[in-house]
């Protein structure tokens, strides 16, 4: 698989996903992805995206300003 942006080689890896929800910043560590070895561009498959959405939905109304979770412990 080649990178959409630079045509570099995409490799299986993990990354840290961050999203600002306004009232809370969610940081999800160890998220499976494919990452370009040349430019660092990251892409996720549909299953991973759905799980990220579930994690964010669970934390959306949390009482904390920053939530840091590990992806692998949240996968059902």
CA-CA-CA-CA torsion sign (50, 53, 59, 61)? negative
pLDDT tens-place string over residues 8-66: 999 999 999 999 988 889 999 999 999 999 999 999 999 999 999 999 998 887 778 89
Q: Which residue has the higher pLDDT, 46 or 75?
A: 46
Query: Which runs of E-coded beta strand occur in 1-76?
Result: 10-20, 25-36, 42-43, 66-70
**pTM score:** 0.86
Beta-carbon contacts of 46 under 8 Å, excluding residues fewer than 6 positions away, are none
């Amino acid at each position: 698989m080649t990178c959409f942006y630079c045509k570099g080689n995409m490799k299986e890896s993990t990354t840290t996903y961050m999203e600002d929800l306004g009232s809370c910043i969610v940081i999800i560590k160890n998220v499976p992805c494919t990452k370009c070895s040349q430019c660092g561009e990251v892409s996720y498959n549909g299953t991973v995206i759905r799980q990220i959405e579930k994690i964010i939905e669970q934390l959306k109304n949390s009482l904390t300003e920053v939530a840091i979770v590990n992806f692998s412990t949240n996968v059902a």
